[in-house]
Amino acid sequence: SAVISQKPSRDICQRGTSLTIQCQVDSQVTMMFWYRQQPGQSLTLIATANQGSEATYESGFVIDKFPISRPNLTFSTLTVSNMSPEDSSIYLCSVEGQGSTDTQYFGPGTRLTVL
């Protein structure tokens, strides 16, 4: 399985500011994803990070609020823009395993608190 790291592991931010979260994988992967987990809730897919093209967003998530970059096959960033307290969540990236039937492996997550 892939080894995935995320930076930062946690942050406390002021409303109206933006935070960029980095996701690094130790091997090249085709599919990378970003999820959000609000307090006490399950995971919700934000978008699929596509290498070389714009990310594919799920219903309810827009590029202006959650811009995503995917410059290569091992790295992606998610920015949470113009934050409000409702953005306080854990943000997780995941990758699809090589040669598997869509098994996904998750990073440790970034815990964001917006004041």
Partner 1 sequence: DAKTTQPPSMDCAEGRAANLPCNHSTISGNEYVYWYRQIHSQGPQYIIHGLKNNETNEMASLIITEDRKSSTLILPHATLRDTAVYYCIAESGYSTLTFGKGTMLLVSP
CA 77 to chain centre: 7
Which one, 14 or 59, has the nearer CB to partner 1?
A: 59
Contact residues for partner 1, defined by CB under 8 A: 1, 4, 31, 33, 42-45, 48, 92, 94, 96-97, 101-109, 111
Least CB distance to partner 1 at residue 36 (A):
11
Q: Measured between alpha carbons, how far is 46 from 91 in angstroms, rounded to an integer?
A: 9
Which one, 15 or 63, has the nearer CB to partner 1?
A: 63
Other CB atoms within 10 A of residue 109 CB = 18
Least CB distance to partner 1 at residue 16 (A):
27
Q: Measured between alpha carbons, how far is 34 from 107 in angstroms, rounded to an integer?
A: 10
Which one, 87 or 109, has the nearer CB to partner 1?
A: 109
Least CB distance to partner 1 at residue 21 (A):
13
Other CB atoms within 10 A of residue 100 CB = 10
Which one, 61 or 81, has the nearer CB to partner 1?
A: 61
Partners of residue 36 on adjacent β-strands: 44, 91
